[in-house]
Structure 1
Amino acid sequence: MESFPLETPGLIEVRGPDAVRFLNGQITQDARNLGDATRASCITDAKGRLQFYVEILQSPKADPCLWVATRFDEREEILARLDRYLIADDASLEDLSGSWHRLRADSPGLPDANFSRTSTWPEPNWRDYWFDFLPTSPAPAPLSPTEIEERRIRLGSPIWGREITAGLLPPEARLDTSAISFSKGCYIGQETLSRIKSAGKLNRKLAPFQVLGFLAAGDTFESDGIPCGTITSVAPSGQYALGFLHKSGFGKSHFTVTERPASQLTLKEKA
């Protein structure tokens, strides 16, 4: 069994008869029938550009009650964003940040946890365990930050601040495969994102690479002297990387690092 270090996320509760309908009008993901699942989602502006990247889950309460989990320092901005559009719906918002703690583990169960949900971590069998107290016992087999970063990049998983940043179009970071529902009703930014899906056109997209040679985040790469993109993350081992591939590089698979011509990149399938 392995686990992530315990964290205290920002947590917004959306509660009431219209909680699901209201939240579905604010986020890109489908908040219906969550059941045991945790789902990644985006909050976008009217032009479909990313404002926040969050996770949604059913709270342990029996009545219509959903949680929006986010980075702790974003909780007030997200609460204000949701509250701005809460007008006619019979729903309420509450900031629960600091009262619940989360441990991510590839374990079928942790006896001290209040409840658990499936995890958005890209490896199978991982779950998020929630505690309404701060556990005093050490986390089981916690992964180091270096191990987490190595796996994340090898698996092609984007994170906030690197591949996921405010203002990008979510499909650029491949979030359309995990954080956007194209079958639910309207939400803020839906028209733009649906148009992108229909046209299938992007100026850049996130890509995973295998690396030969030295590489650093921020390095650019090219093919036949034509600039093709920028690296966002490099695995601690130096073997894998993530970066944005510009349309000038679409259809190509081998690249040279502009700043280090001896270093080579090969486009690889997402693990």
Structure 2
Amino acid sequence: MSESPSTPVATAEFHEKSPLVAHLSSHSPALPVGAYRGAETIAAFSARDEELAALTARAGVYDLSYRAFIKITGSDRIRWTNGMVSNTIVGLEEGQGNYSFLLNAQGRVLGDATIYRFADHLLLETDRAQVEALIAHLDHFIIMDDVELQPLDASTTAIGIAGPAAMQVLSQLGFALPPENHFIPSKWQSAEITVTHARSPLVPRFEIRIASADAPAFWAALTASGVIPCGSAALEALRILEGTPLYGVDITDRHLPQETAQPHALNFSKGCYLGQEIVERIRSRATVHRTFRQFSLSQPPGAFESGDQQPLSLEAEGAQQNPAGQLSSIAEYHLPGFTGTLALGFIRTEVLERKLPIACSGSAVTPLDAPPKLG
């Protein structure tokens, strides 16, 4: 396809209130509300580690209104979308989705999304913080194509449930459960909903897309079943524990797809798409100069918070070039079976290959091959 120049996608600085926030805050005015990934949502209902323990050992429920949906319609929707993202759309079955990057002509990552295939449309799910820029980028490439992009309004929202007991809870409520990366249209009482089994790198995750008017009652049904309410602070800690990068924090438009260590975002047999030439060139060379990793730290590096404007530099003893990388997401953990500090960031591959000692702000840094086991 034509690789016309596109406007670089940056994380938008706007925030929309969650449909659940007003309801939950009205019952508990002291609940802290804060911006998270483009939306205003509850930061915490209780201690963060208590909520995180529920998400990793039992089941937790959380507001997903920071996720936004763009409906893609038109007779050319599958062919056109397949040419705009790094994963296959043509290869999706109805009721299935997958995770993709959106790239520019230079192969840099402009954003990320999960795209689901319905009978008469595609549904692109991304963070609200990315919506405005992604629509501008995508719209730039609709020329003679029968394609329409329609952002869904606040009348629809989503609620998440995650944890080892999530399947049991949803089954007890009468829901059929799809396999991972699939969805099933369903009903709860008289409400039309969609049950999605989201990608689950550490614990089972489900998303319930539901009318905003029905969301408070559904939330109440889950908590009445013993599911623990969880805020954005616990979700952020779970993300870092899983080793999942966040666009706009860990991944930016400076990065190439293979540097991100997210192979599930790429399909090398799908055919032409924007940025493919660079992706294929990197694959043929079979090397990148830096890569995304999860790290263990010997101690917390001061008062750093994930999302700070200035990531922390990594220094490697004996490296050809320093800084040798950077940390962009950091969290401390005090969980049953695991206590420590974890971080996400990028490191030069030379440092990993030579197994050089790494440090950050006085802390010894160890690259991890997999997330730590809990319990």
TM-score higher than 0.5 = yes
SS in 2 for 1:239: strand
* 2:324 aligned with 1:232: no
2:229 to 120, 142, 145: 142
Moved more, 33-42 or 195-204: 33-42
Question: What is the 5 A alignment of 1:219-258?
Answer: 219-226=312-319, 227=322, 228-237=324-333, 238-253=340-355, 255-258=357-360
1:44 to 103, 115, 127: 103
Greater helix proportion: 2
Partner SS state of residue 113, structure 2: strand
- Rounded to whole Å, the distance in 2 between the matches of 1:124 and 1:58 is 24
1:205 partnered with 2:205: no
SS at match of 1:57: strand
User: How far is the alpha carbon of 1:150 from its aligned partner?
Assistant: 2.5
> What are the residue-to-residue correspondences of 1:59-208 with 2, within 5 Å?
59=118, 62-63=119-120, 65-106=121-162, 107-108=166-167, 109=170, 111=188, 114-134=193-213, 135-137=215-217, 138=219, 140=222, 141-175=228-262, 177-208=263-294
How far apart, CA to CA, are the structure 1 residues paired with 2:115 and 2:237? Answer: 26
CA distance in 2, matches of 1:37, 1:254: 42
Deviation per residue, 1:96-150 (Å, 9 max, x gap): 2423211222334363561122213423432221113341233642333333223
Q: Are the structure 2 counterparts of residues 133 and 259 from structure 1 closer, same or farther at C-alpha, using a change threshold of 3 Å?
A: closer
3-state SS of paired residue (2:249): coil
Aligned 8 A contact 2:300 2:341 in 1: no
Q: RMSD over aligned Cα, in angstroms?
A: 2.3
Paired residue for 1:267, among 354, 357, 367?
Answer: 367
Deviations 1:187-233 (A, max 9, x none): 10001011112212212101111111232553323332533221111
Cα displacement (A) at 1:153: 1.6
Alpha-carbon shift at residue 24 of structure 1 (Å): 0.3
Name the CA distance, whole Å, in 1 between partners of 2:133 and 2:367.
37
* Larger Rg computed on CA atoms: 2
Q: Which amino acid aligns with 2:67?
A: P
Secondary structure in structure 2 of the residue aligned to 1:41: strand
Aligned residues: 265
The structural deviation recorded for 1:258 is 4.5
SS in structure 1 of the partner of residue 130 of structure 2:
helix
Write the distance in 1 (CA, Å) between the matches of 2:95 and 2:148: 22
Quickly say closer, same or farther: Cα 1:241–1:258, change in 2 above 3 A: closer
The answer to whether the Cα contact below 8 Å between 1:231 and 1:243 also exists between their aligned partners in 2 is: yes
Equivalent residue letter for 1:203: H
Q: Deviations over 1:139-193 (max 9, x none)?
A: 6423333332232222211112221112311221213x12121110211000101
What TM-score does the superposition give when structure 2 sets the normalisation length?
0.64
CA positional deviation for 1:17: 2.4
Counterpart Cα distance in 2 of 1:6 and 1:145: 9
What secondary structure is seen at the aligned counterpart in 1 of 2:265? Answer: coil
1:8 Cα deviation after fit? 4.9
User: In the aligned structure 2, how far is the partner of 1:250 from the partner of 1:4?
Assistant: 37
Query: Residues 92 and 221 (structure 1 numbering): CA distance in 2 closer, same or farther, change over 3 Å?
Result: closer
